[in-house]
A and B are shown apart, each in its own frame.
Chain A
Amino acid sequence: MRAWKFGDDINTDVITPGRYTVTTDKKRLGEIAFIEYRPEFAKEVQEGDVIVAGYNFGCGSSREHSPVAIKAAGVSAVVAKSFARIFFRNAINIGLPLFVCDDTEKIDDGDTVEIYFKTGEIRDKTNGAVLEVKPLPRFMQKIVDCGGLVEFLRGDGYDNV
């Protein structure tokens, strides 16, 4: 899986500019991910690729269109030093896996990476680096295990927490 490297404070206007989000069509949103900031992204990204970023990924607006677009573009996970909180909740709610990792600078743009979802380990096949990710709090892991917030609330929801 290819790593697509981004910097710090990547905001939701960069991921999905407001002028393009007047739709709920997920396929269309996948086509506009990073449309102005990195126009080649949506054209070249392959199913399973990973976004690797710095601090505060997804800051700015509450628009869920941003994680929806990233997921619909084919991205299998986003790894960052930290995430903006609304983006973090949104991604978990829609089933886009996120990993918090202190060492994302060890991965370069274009590297081949593998994520072991169960052990929380990221391997950079290009340079041999092995990175650890921070586990999710138990409460949030439960939502992830259900497949997202809708499935969580359709099941036991808040009855057994």
Chain B
Amino acid sequence: MASTITEKILAHASHQKEVAAGDFVVADVNYVMAHDSTAPLAIESFYSITDKVFNKDKVIIVFDHFFPAPTVAGATLHQKSRKFVADQQLSGFFTNGVCHQLLVEKFVSPGDVVVGADSHTCTEGALGAFTTGLGSTDIGGVMATGKCWFKVPESLKFNLTDQPRKGVYAKDVILNIVGEVGAAGALYEACEFTGDYVKNASISSRLTLCNMAIEMGGKNGIIEADQKTLEFLNGRTGKIFRSDKDAAYTDKYEIDVGAIEPQVALPPAVDNVEPVSAVEGRTINQAFLGTCTNGRLDDIEVATRILKGKKIARNVRLIVSPASEDIYFAALEKGYLQELVKAGATVCNASCGPCIGRHEGVLCEGETCVSSQNRNFTGRMGDPKADIILASPATVAASALTGKITDPRNYI
């Protein structure tokens, strides 16, 4: 039977010759992750089941959603998770990056099954693994057993051809796709990205594509591993699976990347996508560059190119949070962060930053933020009467420069 890459990985992990969409399987999990926001509930569930994790090297805790703690309540939750890390003698405990970025830098290999108590765990599928987000009780169950049940998803294929025009990036491509497919258009499905564009894209761009599979309701984003992936793995090895040519897909989207303009998603929904020209000139109060979607070195590089030697608009705050310590150091070495600070940016620690509205730049009523993050839901970054506009790092930087939503093509 012809199979998709997702079916093959789930068959392998559940010790079966083959599985088909719709089957229920119990799969071995390579890594299970929770962060400071979701770990406390997962820990409660875990201790209701057992008192020892299935493997202390495969359970990973990351503090990224509110680190360092901005409130007493946050510090109290951190204390609870730290005790779990110590009591279970976990080897994987981090406070120096966004969980998904740390997982791809240090752990995930092609062919793995990885689950995280964060919806954007679909990001890591860019390395050719099956990776998906779960809630805390599920994660507690995996910490206890090393296994997880899945309904094998049907697959959607996104065939991306041609190359983007100048000023158009992976974020514009995926926003365009989310706008086309809709917030529930890929519900429960595997989102498989293929085509020349994907083949030529950097690992960073591939991560951006897979990151937003969940914004269409997708179960996982996935891209077949290739030579570029193996080089990125830096010595880690894995098992490379590929979709059969005649594998079954519920739908196939043909997308001409060369026809896409810079995009924005307008509040309050990620699928409310328009070309940047639709809102060009709208006043902004904050610009945010970072997150699991777009906080990598190439994102910081393009922002630096736009802002080097200039000053951001007087009434704008530009907040930058590199997605990991490695990226932070690389951006320092290349002088990007220094240039951004000279231009007026505030650089935060490597973390989720203000994306979830808990610290490092919350919005008040009536304000608008243009952000490289992945969600623009009402109230996400602060007051429910604040607006969030999603865009590429280039659009974020160009908008910070002018103080208005700005097409980046005139600035690069």
Residue positions of A touching B, CB distance < 8 A: 8-9, 11, 13-14, 17-19, 21-24, 36-37, 55-56, 59-65, 67-68, 82, 84-87, 89-90, 93-94, 137, 139, 148-150, 153-154, 157-158, 161
Residues of A within 8 A of B45 (CB): 149-150
A-B contact pairs, 8 of them (CB 8 A): A14-B379, A62-B116, A62-B119, A86-B119, A93-B141, A139-B149, A149-B137, A149-B141
Asked whether, in the complex, the Cβ of A59 is within 8 Å of the Cβ of B183, the reply is yes
Residues of B within 8 A of A60 (CB): 119, 375, 377
CB-based nearest A residue for B137: A93
- B121-145 interface with A by 8 A CB criterion: 121, 133-138, 140-141, 144-145
Kindly identify which residue among B38, B147, B183 contacts A9, using a CB–CB cutoff of 8 Å: B183
CB-based nearest A residue for B151: A137
Residues of B within 8 A of A87 (CB): 135
Asked whether, in the complex, the Cβ of A9 is within 8 Å of the Cβ of B184, the reply is yes
Question: How many Å lie between the Cα of A139 and that of B149 in the bound state?
Answer: 9
Asked whether, in the complex, the Cβ of A63 is within 8 Å of the Cβ of B135, the reply is yes
- Beyond A56-B187, A59-B184, A149-B138, 15 extra complex contacts between A and B, CB < 8 Å: A17-B379, A17-B384, A19-B382, A21-B37, A36-B379, A56-B184, A59-B217, A60-B119, A62-B38, A63-B38, A67-B135, A93-B137, A150-B137, A154-B49, A158-B147
- Enumerate the 7 nearest inter-chain pairs by beta-carbon distance, A residue then B residue, closest first: A90-B135, A56-B184, A13-B377, A64-B135, A93-B137, A18-B356, A62-B119
Answer whether residue B48 sits at the interface, using C-beta atoms and an 8 A cutoff: yes
Asked whether, in the complex, the Cβ of B378 is within 8 Å of the Cβ of A90, the reply is no
Kindly identify which residue among B137, B149, B379 contacts A90, using a CB–CB cutoff of 8 Å: B137
Question: How many Å lie between the Cα of A155 and that of B9 in the bound state?
Answer: 28
CB-based nearest A residue for B184: A56
Answer whether residue B41 sits at the interface, using C-beta atoms and an 8 A cutoff: yes
Question: How many Å lie between the Cα of A6 and that of B168 in the bound state?
Answer: 37
Residue positions of B touching A, CB distance < 8 A: 24, 26, 37-38, 40-41, 44-45, 48-49, 66, 71, 73-74, 77, 116-119, 121, 133-138, 140-141, 144-145, 147, 149, 151, 183-184, 187-188, 217, 219, 269, 356-358, 362, 375, 377-380, 382, 384
Asked whether, in the complex, the Cβ of A90 is within 8 Å of the Cβ of B40, the reply is no
Question: How many Å lie between the Cα of A62 and that of B32 in the bound state?
Answer: 14
Question: How many Å lie between the Cα of A139 and that of B378 in the bound state?
Answer: 35
Question: How many Å lie between the Cα of A148 and that of B48 in the bound state?
Answer: 12
CB-based nearest B residue for A81: B184
Asked whether, in the complex, the Cβ of B151 is within 8 Å of the Cβ of A62, the reply is no
Residues of A within 8 A of B135 (CB): 62-64, 67, 86-87, 89-90, 93
Kindly identify which residue among B44, B149, B187 contacts A158, using a CB–CB cutoff of 8 Å: B149
Question: How many Å lie between the Cα of A14 and that of B268 in the bound state?
Answer: 10
Kindly identify which residue among B24, B26, B40, B116 contacts A24, using a CB–CB cutoff of 8 Å: B40
Contacts A59-B184, A59-B217, A150-B49; A64 near B38 (Cβ below 8 A): yes
Residues of B within 8 A of A17 (CB): 357, 379-380, 384
Asked whether, in the complex, the Cβ of A150 is within 8 Å of the Cβ of B141, the reply is yes
Residues of A within 8 A of B188 (CB): 85
CB-based nearest B residue for A55: B184
**Min distance, Cβ A21 to any Cβ of chain B, angstroms:** 7
Asked whether, in the complex, the Cβ of A18 is within 8 Å of the Cβ of B357, the reply is yes
Asked whether, in the complex, the Cβ of B41 is within 8 Å of the Cβ of A64, the reply is yes
Residues of A within 8 A of B219 (CB): 85
